[in-house]
A and B are shown apart, each in its own frame.
Chain A
Amino acid sequence: MSVELLIEQLLNGLQLGMMLFLMAAGLTLIFGVMGLINLAHGSLYMVGAFACAAVATATGSFWIGLVASIAAAAAAGALMEVVVIRRLYERDHLDQVLATFALILIFSEGTRWLFGSFPLYLNIPPLLQGAVPLPGGGRYQLYRLALIGVGGGVALGLYLLISRTRLGMRIRAGESDREMIAALGVDIRTLYTVVFALGAALAGLAGAMVGALQSVQVGMGEPALILAFVVIVIGGIGSIKGALFGAILVGVVDTMGRFLLPKVLALALPPAQAGAIGAAIASMLIYIVMALILALRPRGLFSAQA
């Protein structure tokens, strides 16, 4: 095993982590500010991917598709909030889970009805195609590096938004005491819609960018959603910083586990068996990590309501 391989795998882990962060940031923000569990967040990821694929095919430009994905997911998120979610804030979590689960079904069937059951394939824009040399002699896919860059940029942007702007101040206030900021005359309904649309836009962006790498299909959001929930549970529900650290941790642990476990097991077992057992354990690894972290810190690494 060479150093280049290790570096490449770390970058792969980081890239997966950054995409998870885009999903988890919205999820944790919505939970932190509104106290809402939104299972339909994965559907917004799917909406972003489909919007990007449809617009990119129609216009021939991935970049216009990317803008469309953010706009479409934000619009879908705002609509979802106004029509359905708004009625759920006062209800308990079980009602929220039920209603947002219903939304998953509606979005999935709606998308299937519009686009059919076949996966769509987006191409990586020419500007980002190919691989670039890494310091030390390895090579790495340029598009994945760009994804890491976008993830880092969004993390920085969110930090500035929340710590430096009026909107961020309101979001923080909303997290601490909802009734009080309403009493102070802040239009809490609009704030909720804005936060929801912001979270949705990030999910849509992630969907579009990952869609170009993999495939765009109905049901693509749910696996990402499950990982995003793991991320926010590890990071501490409601904390953006926790989402960033949790996402990178999950991304790196998952990638490294898939890569190293079979190798470690191969020391003791025949390769075919080591491969199969290693792959099976690797797919459980992030849940084991989550369980360990919860045992040590029940509120996650960076709990917002510490």
Chain B
Amino acid sequence: MIDFIDYLLGGISSGAIIALMALALVLVWRSTRVVNFAQLGQAMFTTYVALTVRELTGSWFLGLIIAMAAGLVVGVIVHFLVIRPVKRLDTSGAIIATFGVLIALEALAAMVWGGDPEAFPPPINNSGYEAFGRIWPFSPYDLLVLASVVVLVLALSVVFTRTNVGLAMRASAFNPEVARLSGVRVNRMLVLGWAIAGLVGAVAGVLVAPLSTLSPTSFDIFLVFAFTAAVIGGLDSLVGAVAFGIGTGLVIALVSGYSDSSNAPLVALVLLVLNLLFKPEGVFSHHKARAV
């Protein structure tokens, strides 16, 4: 029983980070109906930016802020340079093009920063809290991660539900034609979707890097988990992405704890298959069915 609690506690922060990554995928899907497989490549790239800033200035926080700004910019660049021109021809082409962007970003990062894994130490203590005579697998850094995710998700939900821009973005996602007829500049909302997704992904990258090391391909595995969470959540539901992001993190922690962490991707695949078999439209989706 104590093992179970340990595993769950250990899964909370990675679950929160997966939630952010899933959120980024959902934001892009909602704005352009494209699954951005380069999302975590973008996050990897901006995390390297954060690492560089941190090495130059000694400030983790400054690194995070610059990475967020870089995430916005990279998101907008990818949208204009790749997605918009390719999507004019073909939507599935745009999805495949995001794989191209992923490979290009990984190659670029390897050229700039080298292919060897780099340490990205946590800014604060990452050893577990001690209580009741034992050490729990939950550290001050985990708390920082959790707090950052909660603040970001709350900020996003305020933007989406309480502001005109948020309303315009939601309307553009649900019904672009009605949005345009109402006067919303839908194309700008799409760009904004990619920008915000880039920012959210950048935060996820900076937060997740200390849990392992940073290399051009070190985030690839998280794409599997984030994609699983986003799809199960319904791909267009922000709430679903967060809920199933955390859920996926916890399941993976349990699987890794009771068996071996190398089984985690397999379990993600099983979850995905079960979801597509029994609830293909996703748990929180607005649509009645999705072709599989």
Does B bind A? no
